[in-house]
Chain A
Protein backbone atom coordinates (compact mmCIF):
# COMPACT_ATOMS: atom_id res chain seq x y z
CA UNK A 1 0.00 0.00 0.00
CA UNK A 2 1.19 3.51 0.57
CA UNK A 3 3.94 4.13 3.00
CA UNK A 4 7.26 2.44 2.38
CA UNK A 5 8.65 2.89 5.87
CA UNK A 6 5.52 2.05 7.88
CA UNK A 7 5.66 -1.78 7.50
CA UNK A 8 9.33 -1.87 8.43
CA UNK A 9 8.72 0.43 11.38
CA UNK A 10 6.01 -1.94 12.63
CA UNK A 11 8.19 -4.98 12.01
CA UNK A 12 11.35 -3.43 13.48
CA UNK A 13 11.03 -4.37 17.19
CA UNK A 14 10.15 -7.98 16.37
CA UNK A 15 12.81 -8.33 13.71
CA UNK A 16 15.60 -6.81 15.82
CA UNK A 17 14.82 -9.20 18.69
CA UNK A 18 14.28 -12.15 16.36
CA UNK A 19 17.59 -11.60 14.57
CA UNK A 20 19.42 -11.05 17.87
CA UNK A 21 18.04 -13.98 19.83
CA UNK A 22 17.33 -16.56 17.10
CA UNK A 23 19.13 -15.96 13.80
CA UNK A 24 22.48 -14.71 15.15
CA UNK A 25 22.73 -17.56 17.71
CA UNK A 26 21.95 -20.09 14.97
CA UNK A 27 24.71 -18.66 12.80
CA UNK A 28 27.04 -18.65 15.82
CA UNK A 29 26.18 -22.29 16.58
CA UNK A 30 26.99 -23.25 13.00
CA UNK A 31 30.23 -21.27 13.27
CA UNK A 32 31.26 -22.94 16.55
CA UNK A 33 30.48 -26.37 15.13
CA UNK A 34 33.22 -25.87 12.54
CA UNK A 35 35.90 -24.63 14.92
CA UNK A 36 38.28 -26.19 17.38
CA UNK A 37 39.79 -24.40 20.36
CA UNK A 38 43.53 -24.80 20.58
CA UNK A 39 45.42 -24.10 23.75
CA UNK A 40 48.92 -22.82 23.27
CA UNK A 41 51.53 -23.43 25.95
CA UNK A 42 51.69 -26.46 28.17
CA UNK A 43 48.63 -25.64 30.31
CA UNK A 44 46.93 -23.25 27.92
CA UNK A 45 48.47 -20.29 29.76
CA UNK A 46 49.46 -18.58 26.51
CA UNK A 47 45.84 -18.14 25.50
CA UNK A 48 43.26 -19.86 23.39
CA UNK A 49 42.87 -19.70 19.65
CA UNK A 50 39.99 -20.91 17.53
CA UNK A 51 40.93 -22.69 14.34
CA UNK A 52 38.82 -23.99 11.50
CA UNK A 53 38.16 -27.68 12.07
CA UNK A 54 36.04 -28.64 9.06
CA UNK A 55 33.67 -31.47 9.80
CA UNK A 56 35.84 -32.76 12.63
CA UNK A 57 33.25 -32.00 15.34
CA UNK A 58 30.46 -33.59 13.32
CA UNK A 59 32.53 -36.70 12.73
CA UNK A 60 33.31 -36.87 16.44
CA UNK A 61 29.66 -36.37 17.39
CA UNK A 62 28.47 -39.07 15.01
CA UNK A 63 31.18 -41.43 16.24
CA UNK A 64 30.28 -40.71 19.86
CA UNK A 65 28.60 -43.82 21.14
CA UNK A 66 26.63 -42.04 23.89
CA UNK A 67 25.28 -39.40 21.52
CA UNK A 68 24.12 -41.98 18.97
CA UNK A 69 22.57 -44.04 21.78
CA UNK A 70 20.70 -40.95 23.00
CA UNK A 71 19.28 -40.39 19.51
CA UNK A 72 18.23 -44.05 19.27
CA UNK A 73 16.57 -43.74 22.68
CA UNK A 74 14.59 -40.72 21.51
CA UNK A 75 13.49 -42.50 18.31
CA UNK A 76 12.17 -45.41 20.41
CA UNK A 77 10.58 -42.96 22.86
CA UNK A 78 9.00 -40.97 20.02
CA UNK A 79 7.58 -43.98 18.16
CA UNK A 80 5.88 -45.30 21.31
CA UNK A 81 5.02 -42.12 23.24
CA UNK A 82 3.84 -39.95 20.32
CA UNK A 83 1.68 -42.80 18.98
CA UNK A 84 0.07 -43.50 22.35
CA UNK A 85 -0.49 -39.80 23.04
CA UNK A 86 -2.00 -38.91 19.65
CA UNK A 87 -4.25 -42.00 19.63
CA UNK A 88 -5.41 -41.16 23.17
CA UNK A 89 -5.98 -37.49 22.29
CA UNK A 90 -7.98 -38.47 19.20
CA UNK A 91 -10.17 -40.96 21.09
CA UNK A 92 -10.81 -38.46 23.89
CA UNK A 93 -11.66 -35.73 21.38
CA UNK A 94 -14.07 -38.02 19.49
CA UNK A 95 -15.74 -39.18 22.72
CA UNK A 96 -16.13 -35.62 24.02
CA UNK A 97 -17.53 -34.42 20.69
CA UNK A 98 -19.87 -37.39 20.29
CA UNK A 99 -22.30 -35.76 22.75
CA UNK A 100 -22.61 -39.19 24.36
CA UNK A 101 -20.99 -38.19 27.65
CA UNK A 102 -22.23 -36.04 30.49
CA UNK A 103 -20.28 -32.98 31.72
CA UNK A 104 -18.08 -32.61 28.57
CA UNK A 105 -16.93 -29.16 29.73
CA UNK A 106 -15.61 -30.51 33.00
CA UNK A 107 -13.73 -33.37 31.32
CA UNK A 108 -12.25 -31.11 28.65
CA UNK A 109 -10.95 -28.66 31.24
CA UNK A 110 -9.56 -31.45 33.44
CA UNK A 111 -7.65 -33.09 30.57
CA UNK A 112 -6.23 -29.75 29.47
CA UNK A 113 -5.19 -28.65 32.98
CA UNK A 114 -1.75 -30.40 33.04
CA UNK A 115 -0.64 -28.29 30.05
CA UNK A 116 -0.53 -25.29 32.38
CA UNK A 117 1.72 -27.06 34.87
CA UNK A 118 5.40 -26.50 34.08
CA UNK A 119 7.31 -29.61 32.99
CA UNK A 120 9.57 -29.12 36.02
CA UNK A 121 6.67 -29.13 38.50
CA UNK A 122 4.97 -32.03 36.67
CA UNK A 123 8.21 -34.01 36.92
CA UNK A 124 8.57 -33.22 40.63
CA UNK A 125 4.96 -34.33 41.26
CA UNK A 126 5.25 -37.55 39.27
CA UNK A 127 8.68 -38.35 40.69
CA UNK A 128 7.09 -38.31 44.17
CA UNK A 129 4.63 -40.85 42.77
CA UNK A 130 7.55 -42.98 41.55
CA UNK A 131 9.75 -42.99 44.66
CA UNK A 132 9.33 -46.22 46.64
CA UNK A 133 8.22 -45.45 50.22
CA UNK A 134 6.66 -42.16 49.18
CA UNK A 135 4.49 -43.29 46.31
CA UNK A 136 0.99 -44.58 47.08
CA UNK A 137 0.87 -46.09 43.58
CA UNK A 138 3.85 -48.33 44.33
CA UNK A 139 2.16 -49.29 47.63
CA UNK A 140 -1.18 -50.15 46.01
CA UNK A 141 0.46 -52.14 43.22
CA UNK A 142 2.52 -53.98 45.84
CA UNK A 143 -0.67 -54.99 47.66
CA UNK A 144 -2.02 -56.73 44.57
CA UNK A 145 1.32 -58.42 44.03
CA UNK A 146 2.83 -56.21 41.36
CA UNK A 147 6.27 -55.05 42.38
CA UNK A 148 7.45 -52.41 40.00
CA UNK A 149 10.32 -49.96 40.33
CA UNK A 150 9.43 -46.96 38.18
CA UNK A 151 12.98 -45.68 38.50
CA UNK A 152 14.77 -48.86 37.41
CA UNK A 153 17.17 -48.22 34.53
CA UNK A 154 15.10 -50.14 31.96
CA UNK A 155 11.75 -48.71 33.15
CA UNK A 156 12.57 -45.05 33.71
CA UNK A 157 12.32 -44.11 30.02
CA UNK A 158 8.62 -45.07 30.13
CA UNK A 159 8.15 -43.26 33.43
CA UNK A 160 9.38 -40.14 31.62
CA UNK A 161 7.06 -40.96 28.69
CA UNK A 162 4.17 -41.04 31.16
CA UNK A 163 5.00 -37.51 32.40
CA UNK A 164 5.15 -36.16 28.84
CA UNK A 165 1.90 -37.92 27.91
CA UNK A 166 0.22 -36.56 31.04
CA UNK A 167 1.29 -33.01 30.20
CA UNK A 168 0.47 -32.84 26.47
CA UNK A 169 -2.46 -35.19 25.75
CA UNK A 170 -5.08 -32.59 26.67
CA UNK A 171 -3.37 -29.88 24.63
CA UNK A 172 -3.34 -32.09 21.52
CA UNK A 173 -6.93 -33.08 22.24
CA UNK A 174 -7.99 -29.41 22.16
CA UNK A 175 -6.36 -28.90 18.75
CA UNK A 176 -8.22 -31.97 17.41
CA UNK A 177 -11.51 -30.82 18.95
CA UNK A 178 -11.14 -27.41 17.27
CA UNK A 179 -10.82 -29.18 13.92
CA UNK A 180 -13.75 -31.53 14.68
CA UNK A 181 -15.93 -28.51 15.37
CA UNK A 182 -15.16 -27.09 11.93
CA UNK A 183 -16.66 -30.11 10.11
CA UNK A 184 -19.85 -28.83 8.40
CA UNK A 185 -23.06 -30.26 9.87
CA UNK A 186 -24.55 -31.28 6.50
CA UNK A 187 -21.77 -33.86 6.09
CA UNK A 188 -23.16 -35.70 9.13
CA UNK A 189 -26.67 -35.16 7.80
CA UNK A 190 -25.79 -36.74 4.45
CA UNK A 191 -24.08 -39.69 6.15
CA UNK A 192 -27.13 -40.29 8.34
CA UNK A 193 -29.41 -40.28 5.30
CA UNK A 194 -27.11 -42.84 3.67
CA UNK A 195 -27.57 -44.94 6.80
CA UNK A 196 -24.01 -44.65 8.14
CA UNK A 197 -23.51 -45.74 11.78
CA UNK A 198 -21.29 -44.07 14.36
CA UNK A 199 -18.25 -46.12 13.34
CA UNK A 200 -18.64 -45.32 9.64
CA UNK A 201 -18.94 -41.63 10.53
CA UNK A 202 -15.74 -41.72 12.58
CA UNK A 203 -13.83 -43.69 9.95
CA UNK A 204 -15.07 -42.01 6.76
CA UNK A 205 -15.82 -38.46 7.86
CA UNK A 206 -14.22 -37.43 11.14
CA UNK A 207 -10.79 -39.08 10.83
CA UNK A 208 -10.17 -37.85 7.25
CA UNK A 209 -11.38 -34.36 8.17
CA UNK A 210 -9.07 -34.01 11.20
CA UNK A 211 -6.02 -35.16 9.25
CA UNK A 212 -4.44 -31.64 9.19
CA UNK A 213 -4.78 -31.37 12.98
CA UNK A 214 -3.23 -34.82 13.42
CA UNK A 215 -0.28 -33.96 11.15
CA UNK A 216 0.25 -30.72 13.09
CA UNK A 217 0.15 -32.39 16.51
CA UNK A 218 2.45 -35.22 15.35
CA UNK A 219 5.04 -32.77 14.00
CA UNK A 220 4.98 -30.69 17.20
CA UNK A 221 5.32 -33.86 19.26
CA UNK A 222 8.28 -35.12 17.23
CA UNK A 223 10.07 -31.78 17.62
CA UNK A 224 9.24 -31.86 21.34
CA UNK A 225 10.59 -35.38 21.74
CA UNK A 226 13.92 -34.50 20.16
CA UNK A 227 14.20 -31.58 22.58
CA UNK A 228 13.46 -33.62 25.70
CA UNK A 229 15.54 -32.17 28.54
CA UNK A 230 13.85 -31.00 31.74
CA UNK A 231 12.11 -34.28 32.68
CA UNK A 232 15.12 -36.62 32.38
CA UNK A 233 17.49 -34.04 33.82
CA UNK A 234 15.39 -33.64 36.97
CA UNK A 235 15.07 -37.38 37.41
CA UNK A 236 18.78 -37.92 36.95
CA UNK A 237 19.44 -37.83 40.69
CA UNK A 238 16.74 -40.46 41.30
CA UNK A 239 17.52 -43.09 38.72
CA UNK A 240 20.89 -44.63 37.99
CA UNK A 241 19.56 -45.36 34.50
CA UNK A 242 19.77 -41.69 33.47
CA UNK A 243 23.24 -40.58 32.45
CA UNK A 244 24.21 -36.97 31.81
CA UNK A 245 24.06 -37.79 28.06
CA UNK A 246 20.67 -39.51 28.23
CA UNK A 247 18.98 -37.36 25.56
CA UNK A 248 20.59 -35.46 22.66
CA UNK A 249 19.85 -32.14 24.36
CA UNK A 250 21.30 -33.26 27.68
CA UNK A 251 24.38 -34.32 25.76
CA UNK A 252 24.76 -30.92 24.09
CA UNK A 253 24.26 -29.24 27.47
CA UNK A 254 26.84 -31.47 29.14
CA UNK A 255 29.44 -30.82 26.44
CA UNK A 256 28.87 -27.05 26.61
CA UNK A 257 28.76 -26.51 30.35
CA UNK A 258 30.39 -29.52 32.01
CA UNK A 259 33.07 -30.73 29.58
CA UNK A 260 33.71 -27.29 28.07
CA UNK A 261 33.79 -28.61 24.52
CA UNK A 262 31.91 -25.88 22.70
CA UNK A 263 32.60 -27.16 19.18
CA UNK A 264 31.24 -30.60 20.01
CA UNK A 265 28.21 -29.11 21.82
CA UNK A 266 27.44 -26.86 18.84
CA UNK A 267 27.79 -29.74 16.36
CA UNK A 268 25.36 -31.80 18.44
CA UNK A 269 22.89 -28.89 18.67
CA UNK A 270 23.04 -28.45 14.87
CA UNK A 271 22.48 -32.21 14.37
CA UNK A 272 19.44 -32.06 16.68
CA UNK A 273 18.02 -29.06 14.79
CA UNK A 274 18.60 -30.64 11.37
CA UNK A 275 17.02 -33.92 12.54
CA UNK A 276 13.95 -32.11 13.87
CA UNK A 277 13.67 -30.26 10.58
CA UNK A 278 14.08 -33.45 8.51
CA UNK A 279 11.63 -35.50 10.58
CA UNK A 280 9.00 -32.76 10.31
CA UNK A 281 9.51 -32.61 6.55
CA UNK A 282 9.18 -36.42 6.30
CA UNK A 283 5.98 -36.36 8.38
CA UNK A 284 4.56 -33.67 6.09
CA UNK A 285 5.69 -35.61 3.01
CA UNK A 286 4.08 -38.88 4.14
CA UNK A 287 0.88 -37.06 4.94
CA UNK A 288 0.73 -35.45 1.49
CA UNK A 289 1.65 -38.71 -0.23
CA UNK A 290 -1.14 -40.66 1.44
CA UNK A 291 -3.49 -37.75 0.74
CA UNK A 292 -2.74 -38.01 -2.97
CA UNK A 293 -3.25 -41.79 -3.01
CA UNK A 294 -6.73 -41.50 -1.59
Chain B
Protein backbone atom coordinates (compact mmCIF):
# COMPACT_ATOMS: atom_id res chain seq x y z
CA UNK B 1 0.00 0.00 0.00
CA UNK B 2 2.80 2.44 0.81
CA UNK B 3 5.80 0.50 -0.37
CA UNK B 4 7.55 3.30 -2.20
CA UNK B 5 7.73 5.99 0.49
CA UNK B 6 8.36 3.17 2.97
CA UNK B 7 11.57 1.86 1.54
CA UNK B 8 14.13 4.41 2.77
CA UNK B 9 12.66 4.40 6.28
CA UNK B 10 12.59 0.63 6.54
CA UNK B 11 16.13 0.50 5.27
CA UNK B 12 17.19 3.01 7.88
CA UNK B 13 15.47 1.10 10.60
CA UNK B 14 16.93 -2.25 9.70
CA UNK B 15 20.35 -0.64 9.60
CA UNK B 16 19.83 0.77 13.08
CA UNK B 17 18.67 -2.64 14.17
CA UNK B 18 21.69 -4.43 12.84
CA UNK B 19 23.94 -1.87 14.58
CA UNK B 20 22.07 -2.55 17.76
CA UNK B 21 22.45 -6.25 17.23
CA UNK B 22 26.20 -6.16 16.74
CA UNK B 23 26.49 -3.72 19.63
CA UNK B 24 24.56 -5.03 22.55
CA UNK B 25 21.43 -6.75 23.59
CA UNK B 26 20.34 -8.90 20.69
CA UNK B 27 23.78 -10.46 20.35
CA UNK B 28 23.68 -14.20 19.80
CA UNK B 29 19.94 -14.40 19.14
CA UNK B 30 19.36 -17.92 17.84
CA UNK B 31 17.19 -18.66 14.79
CA UNK B 32 14.98 -20.84 16.99
CA UNK B 33 14.17 -17.87 19.22
CA UNK B 34 13.32 -15.79 16.16
CA UNK B 35 10.94 -18.44 14.86
CA UNK B 36 9.19 -18.93 18.21
CA UNK B 37 8.80 -15.20 18.90
CA UNK B 38 7.58 -14.52 15.36
CA UNK B 39 5.09 -17.38 15.63
CA UNK B 40 3.71 -16.02 18.92
CA UNK B 41 3.38 -12.54 17.43
CA UNK B 42 1.67 -13.98 14.33
CA UNK B 43 -0.94 -15.78 16.45
CA UNK B 44 -1.63 -12.55 18.32
CA UNK B 45 -1.93 -10.77 14.96
CA UNK B 46 -4.64 -13.25 13.90
CA UNK B 47 -6.65 -12.29 16.99
CA UNK B 48 -6.47 -8.60 16.05
CA UNK B 49 -7.34 -9.27 12.42
CA UNK B 50 -10.24 -11.73 12.85
CA UNK B 51 -13.11 -9.21 13.11
CA UNK B 52 -11.79 -7.26 10.11
CA UNK B 53 -11.30 -10.45 8.11
CA UNK B 54 -14.81 -11.57 9.03
CA UNK B 55 -16.42 -8.35 7.85
CA UNK B 56 -14.50 -8.39 4.55
CA UNK B 57 -15.55 -11.99 3.80
CA UNK B 58 -19.14 -11.61 4.92
CA UNK B 59 -19.78 -8.34 3.10
CA UNK B 60 -19.61 -10.43 -0.10
CA UNK B 61 -22.47 -12.74 0.88
CA UNK B 62 -26.20 -12.83 0.43
CA UNK B 63 -28.30 -12.80 3.59
CA UNK B 64 -28.94 -16.55 3.20
CA UNK B 65 -25.24 -17.33 2.90
CA UNK B 66 -24.52 -15.07 5.84
CA UNK B 67 -26.34 -17.54 8.06
CA UNK B 68 -25.95 -20.67 5.93
CA UNK B 69 -22.20 -20.81 5.23
CA UNK B 70 -19.10 -20.76 7.39
CA UNK B 71 -18.23 -17.24 8.51
CA UNK B 72 -14.55 -17.89 7.85
CA UNK B 73 -14.93 -18.40 4.10
CA UNK B 74 -16.76 -16.91 1.11
CA UNK B 75 -20.29 -17.96 0.20
CA UNK B 76 -21.63 -19.50 -3.00
CA UNK B 77 -21.93 -16.18 -4.81
CA UNK B 78 -19.92 -12.98 -4.71
CA UNK B 79 -22.35 -10.13 -3.97
CA UNK B 80 -19.96 -7.45 -2.74
CA UNK B 81 -20.87 -4.87 -5.39
CA UNK B 82 -24.62 -5.40 -4.93
CA UNK B 83 -24.28 -5.20 -1.16
CA UNK B 84 -22.26 -2.00 -1.28
CA UNK B 85 -24.76 -0.50 -3.71
CA UNK B 86 -27.56 -1.43 -1.30
CA UNK B 87 -25.70 0.21 1.59
CA UNK B 88 -25.16 3.42 -0.38
CA UNK B 89 -28.74 3.69 -1.58
CA UNK B 90 -30.70 2.45 1.47
CA UNK B 91 -33.20 4.92 2.97
CA UNK B 92 -32.60 7.37 0.13
CA UNK B 93 -28.80 7.42 0.48
CA UNK B 94 -28.60 8.00 4.20
CA UNK B 95 -25.25 6.21 4.60
CA UNK B 96 -23.18 8.62 2.46
CA UNK B 97 -24.84 11.41 4.40
CA UNK B 98 -23.70 9.86 7.72
CA UNK B 99 -20.17 9.48 6.35
CA UNK B 100 -20.18 13.13 5.30
CA UNK B 101 -21.45 14.17 8.74
CA UNK B 102 -18.66 12.20 10.42
CA UNK B 103 -16.18 13.90 8.13
CA UNK B 104 -17.60 17.35 8.94
CA UNK B 105 -17.55 16.77 12.72
CA UNK B 106 -14.07 15.21 12.73
CA UNK B 107 -12.48 17.36 10.02
CA UNK B 108 -13.63 20.79 11.16
CA UNK B 109 -13.54 19.79 14.83
CA UNK B 110 -9.98 18.46 14.83
CA UNK B 111 -8.47 21.33 12.82
CA UNK B 112 -10.08 24.11 14.87
CA UNK B 113 -9.53 22.31 18.18
CA UNK B 114 -5.84 21.92 17.33
CA UNK B 115 -5.47 25.59 16.37
CA UNK B 116 -7.08 26.73 19.65
CA UNK B 117 -5.11 24.23 21.76
CA UNK B 118 -1.78 25.12 20.14
CA UNK B 119 -2.39 28.86 20.57
CA UNK B 120 -3.25 28.33 24.24
CA UNK B 121 -0.39 25.91 24.88
CA UNK B 122 2.07 28.29 23.25
CA UNK B 123 0.80 31.14 25.44
CA UNK B 124 1.21 29.02 28.58
CA UNK B 125 4.72 27.94 27.62
CA UNK B 126 6.14 31.21 26.32
CA UNK B 127 4.62 34.00 28.44
CA UNK B 128 4.83 34.75 32.13
CA UNK B 129 1.55 36.19 33.36
CA UNK B 130 -0.56 36.18 36.52
CA UNK B 131 -3.17 33.41 36.54
CA UNK B 132 -1.04 30.99 34.53
CA UNK B 133 -0.85 28.35 37.27
CA UNK B 134 -4.59 28.67 37.82
CA UNK B 135 -5.26 27.99 34.11
CA UNK B 136 -3.03 24.90 34.27
CA UNK B 137 -4.81 23.57 37.36
CA UNK B 138 -8.26 24.27 35.94
CA UNK B 139 -7.55 22.48 32.66
CA UNK B 140 -5.95 19.51 34.45
CA UNK B 141 -8.97 19.23 36.75
CA UNK B 142 -11.27 19.35 33.73
CA UNK B 143 -9.35 16.59 31.96
CA UNK B 144 -9.79 14.19 34.86
CA UNK B 145 -13.58 14.55 34.83
CA UNK B 146 -15.09 11.91 32.52
CA UNK B 147 -16.56 13.34 29.34
CA UNK B 148 -19.78 11.46 29.93
CA UNK B 149 -20.31 13.30 33.22
CA UNK B 150 -20.36 16.63 31.39
CA UNK B 151 -22.47 15.44 28.45
CA UNK B 152 -25.74 15.38 30.43
CA UNK B 153 -25.54 18.94 31.83
CA UNK B 154 -24.22 20.06 28.44
CA UNK B 155 -27.43 18.76 26.91
CA UNK B 156 -29.52 20.90 29.26
CA UNK B 157 -27.26 23.89 28.64
CA UNK B 158 -27.58 23.51 24.85
CA UNK B 159 -31.29 22.82 24.98
CA UNK B 160 -31.84 26.06 26.92
CA UNK B 161 -30.34 27.99 23.99
CA UNK B 162 -31.96 25.80 21.34
CA UNK B 163 -28.73 24.20 20.09
CA UNK B 164 -29.61 20.55 20.65
CA UNK B 165 -30.27 18.47 17.56
CA UNK B 166 -28.10 20.72 15.37
CA UNK B 167 -24.61 20.29 13.90
CA UNK B 168 -23.39 22.79 16.49
CA UNK B 169 -24.34 20.56 19.43
CA UNK B 170 -21.74 17.96 18.39
CA UNK B 171 -19.25 20.36 16.82
CA UNK B 172 -18.85 22.88 19.65
CA UNK B 173 -17.80 20.39 22.38
CA UNK B 174 -15.42 18.80 19.85
CA UNK B 175 -13.47 22.05 19.55
CA UNK B 176 -11.87 21.57 22.97
CA UNK B 177 -8.72 19.48 23.37
CA UNK B 178 -7.17 19.82 26.84
CA UNK B 179 -4.76 17.02 25.93
CA UNK B 180 -3.70 19.10 22.92
CA UNK B 181 -3.16 22.15 25.10
CA UNK B 182 -0.79 20.22 27.38
CA UNK B 183 1.06 18.58 24.53
CA UNK B 184 1.47 21.92 22.73
CA UNK B 185 2.68 23.61 25.95
CA UNK B 186 5.32 20.90 26.57
CA UNK B 187 6.42 20.89 22.95
CA UNK B 188 6.50 24.69 22.56
CA UNK B 189 8.55 25.00 25.75
CA UNK B 190 11.25 22.82 24.21
CA UNK B 191 11.04 23.61 20.50
CA UNK B 192 10.83 27.43 20.48
CA UNK B 193 13.88 29.24 21.90
CA UNK B 194 13.12 32.56 23.62
CA UNK B 195 15.87 34.23 21.57
CA UNK B 196 13.93 33.44 18.40
CA UNK B 197 10.89 35.33 19.71
CA UNK B 198 13.04 38.18 21.04
CA UNK B 199 14.67 38.57 17.63
CA UNK B 200 11.22 38.76 16.06
CA UNK B 201 10.11 41.40 18.57
CA UNK B 202 13.20 43.51 17.81
CA UNK B 203 12.23 43.33 14.14
CA UNK B 204 8.91 44.83 15.17
CA UNK B 205 6.68 41.79 14.60
CA UNK B 206 3.47 41.89 16.64
CA UNK B 207 2.73 39.23 19.25
CA UNK B 208 0.02 37.48 17.22
CA UNK B 209 2.11 37.50 14.05
CA UNK B 210 4.95 36.11 16.12
CA UNK B 211 2.81 33.11 16.96
CA UNK B 212 1.53 32.58 13.44
CA UNK B 213 4.72 33.19 11.51
CA UNK B 214 7.52 32.04 13.83
CA UNK B 215 6.02 29.64 16.39
CA UNK B 216 3.54 27.64 14.30
CA UNK B 217 6.10 26.26 11.80
CA UNK B 218 8.22 25.02 14.73
CA UNK B 219 5.25 23.19 16.21
CA UNK B 220 4.31 21.06 13.17
CA UNK B 221 5.09 17.64 14.77
CA UNK B 222 2.93 18.48 17.80
CA UNK B 223 0.19 19.82 15.50
CA UNK B 224 0.09 16.57 13.48
CA UNK B 225 -0.20 14.50 16.66
CA UNK B 226 -2.99 16.64 18.13
CA UNK B 227 -4.99 16.68 14.87
CA UNK B 228 -4.80 12.89 14.60
CA UNK B 229 -5.81 12.20 18.20
CA UNK B 230 -8.65 14.69 18.03
CA UNK B 231 -9.85 13.37 14.66
CA UNK B 232 -9.99 9.78 15.88
CA UNK B 233 -11.53 10.91 19.17
CA UNK B 234 -14.39 12.78 17.46
CA UNK B 235 -14.88 10.09 14.81
CA UNK B 236 -15.22 7.41 17.50
CA UNK B 237 -17.46 9.43 19.81
CA UNK B 238 -20.83 7.87 20.51
CA UNK B 239 -22.11 9.28 23.77
CA UNK B 240 -22.17 12.96 22.76
CA UNK B 241 -24.09 12.54 19.45
CA UNK B 242 -26.39 10.02 21.13
CA UNK B 243 -27.30 12.58 23.77
CA UNK B 244 -27.52 15.58 21.45
CA UNK B 245 -29.03 14.35 18.17
CA UNK B 246 -32.53 13.15 17.38
CA UNK B 247 -32.61 13.77 13.62
CA UNK B 248 -31.19 10.83 11.65
CA UNK B 249 -29.90 13.23 8.98
CA UNK B 250 -27.41 14.69 11.46
CA UNK B 251 -26.06 11.35 12.70
CA UNK B 252 -22.40 10.43 12.36
CA UNK B 253 -21.59 6.93 11.04
CA UNK B 254 -21.31 5.38 14.50
CA UNK B 255 -24.82 6.35 15.52
CA UNK B 256 -26.30 5.54 12.11
CA UNK B 257 -24.86 2.04 11.94
CA UNK B 258 -26.06 1.36 15.46
CA UNK B 259 -29.50 2.37 14.26
CA UNK B 260 -29.36 -0.18 11.43
CA UNK B 261 -28.02 -2.92 13.68
CA UNK B 262 -30.84 -2.32 16.15
CA UNK B 263 -33.33 -3.15 13.38
CA UNK B 264 -31.81 -6.55 12.57
CA UNK B 265 -34.02 -8.21 15.19
CA UNK B 266 -37.15 -7.48 13.20
CA UNK B 267 -35.79 -7.10 9.67
CA UNK B 268 -33.05 -9.62 8.74
CA UNK B 269 -32.09 -7.69 5.58
CA UNK B 270 -30.56 -5.09 7.89
CA UNK B 271 -27.89 -7.65 8.79
CA UNK B 272 -26.40 -7.34 5.32
CA UNK B 273 -26.69 -3.54 5.37
CA UNK B 274 -24.94 -3.38 8.74
CA UNK B 275 -22.13 -5.70 7.61
CA UNK B 276 -21.62 -3.70 4.40
CA UNK B 277 -21.77 -0.40 6.28
CA UNK B 278 -19.28 -1.68 8.85
CA UNK B 279 -16.92 -2.70 6.04
CA UNK B 280 -17.15 0.74 4.42
CA UNK B 281 -16.42 2.49 7.71
CA UNK B 282 -13.60 0.17 8.82
CA UNK B 283 -11.53 0.08 5.63
CA UNK B 284 -10.66 3.79 5.32
CA UNK B 285 -9.91 4.09 9.03
CA UNK B 286 -7.73 0.99 9.09
CA UNK B 287 -5.74 2.27 6.12
CA UNK B 288 -5.48 5.74 7.67
CA UNK B 289 -4.18 4.27 10.94
CA UNK B 290 -1.66 2.02 9.20
CA UNK B 291 -0.32 4.85 7.04
CA UNK B 292 -0.30 7.55 9.72
CA UNK B 293 0.95 5.36 12.55
CA UNK B 294 4.57 6.20 11.80
CA UNK B 295 3.95 9.97 11.75
CA UNK B 296 1.98 9.70 14.93
CA UNK B 297 4.68 7.83 16.80
CA UNK B 298 7.32 10.05 15.27
CA UNK B 299 5.56 13.12 16.62
CA UNK B 300 5.19 11.68 20.09
CA UNK B 301 8.74 10.46 20.54
CA UNK B 302 10.23 13.62 19.10
CA UNK B 303 8.28 15.59 21.67
CA UNK B 304 9.49 13.40 24.51
CA UNK B 305 13.11 13.53 23.41
CA UNK B 306 13.14 17.32 23.20
CA UNK B 307 10.95 17.89 26.24
**A contact set with B: CB distance below 8 Å:** 1-4, 6-11, 13-15, 17-18, 20-26, 28-29, 32, 92, 95-96, 98-103, 105-122, 124-129, 133-137, 139-140, 166, 170, 174, 177-178, 181-182, 185, 188-189, 192, 198, 201, 223, 226-227, 229-230, 234, 237, 249, 252-253, 256-257, 262, 265-266, 269-270, 272-273, 276-277, 280
Cross-chain contact B148 with A269 (CB below 8 angstroms): yes
With CB as the reference atom, state the residue of chain B lying closest to A163.
B51
The distance from the CB of A232 to the nearest CB of chain B, in whole angstroms, is 12
Cross-chain contact A100 with B119 (CB below 8 angstroms): no
Cross-chain contact B254 with A121 (CB below 8 angstroms): yes
Whether a CB of chain A sits under 8 angstroms from the CB of B27 is yes
- Residues of chain B within 8 A (CB-CB) of A272 are 146, 148-149
- Residues of chain B within 8 A (CB-CB) of A13 are 115-116, 119-120
Cross-chain contact B146 with A266 (CB below 8 angstroms): no
Cross-chain contact B127 with A1 (CB below 8 angstroms): yes
Cross-chain contact B25 with A188 (CB below 8 angstroms): yes
18 contacting pairs across A/B (C-beta < 8 A): A1-B197, A2-B207, A11-B135, A22-B178, A98-B25, A111-B45, A113-B52, A114-B48, A118-B285, A121-B254, A134-B71, A136-B71, A177-B297, A227-B147, A234-B258, A249-B146, A253-B152, A272-B148
Query: Which 5 residue pairs are nearest across A and B when measured between Cβ atoms?
Result: A136-B71, A116-B289, A6-B207, A14-B120, A7-B127
- Residues of chain B within 8 A (CB-CB) of A253 are 148, 152, 243
User: How many interface residues does B have (CB within 8 Å)?
Assistant: 108
With CB as the reference atom, state the residue of chain B lying closest to A103.
B38
Cross-chain contact B54 with A129 (CB below 8 angstroms): yes
**B contact set with A: CB distance below 8 Å:** 10, 13, 17, 20-21, 23-27, 29, 33-34, 37-38, 40-42, 44-45, 47-52, 54-55, 58, 66-67, 70-72, 115-117, 119-120, 122-124, 126-129, 132, 135, 138-139, 142, 144-157, 172-173, 175-176, 178, 181, 194, 197, 201, 207-208, 211, 232, 235-236, 238-239, 243, 253-255, 257-258, 261-262, 265, 271, 274-275, 278, 281-282, 285-286, 288-290, 293, 297, 300-301, 304-305
With CB as the reference atom, state the residue of chain B lying closest to A118.
B236
Cross-chain contact B153 with A21 (CB below 8 angstroms): no
> Which of A28, A166, A185 has a CB less than 8 Å from the CB of B156?
A28
- Residues of chain A within 8 A (CB-CB) of B122 are 10
Known: A7-B123, A121-B281, A136-B54. Is A234-B41 also a contact (CB below 8 A)?
no
Cross-chain contact B208 with A166 (CB below 8 angstroms): no
Q: How far, in whole Å, are A80 and B69 apart by their CA atoms in the complex?
A: 35
At the interface, is chain B mostly helix, strand, loop or mixed? helix
Q: How many A-B residue pairs have CB under 8 A?
A: 287
Known: A102-B38, A110-B49. Is A21-B144 also a contact (CB below 8 A)?
no
Known: A110-B45, A116-B288, A124-B257. Is A25-B153 also a contact (CB below 8 A)?
yes
Known: A119-B238, A133-B67. Is A29-B120 also a contact (CB below 8 A)?
no
With CB as the reference atom, state the residue of chain A lying closest to B210.
A6
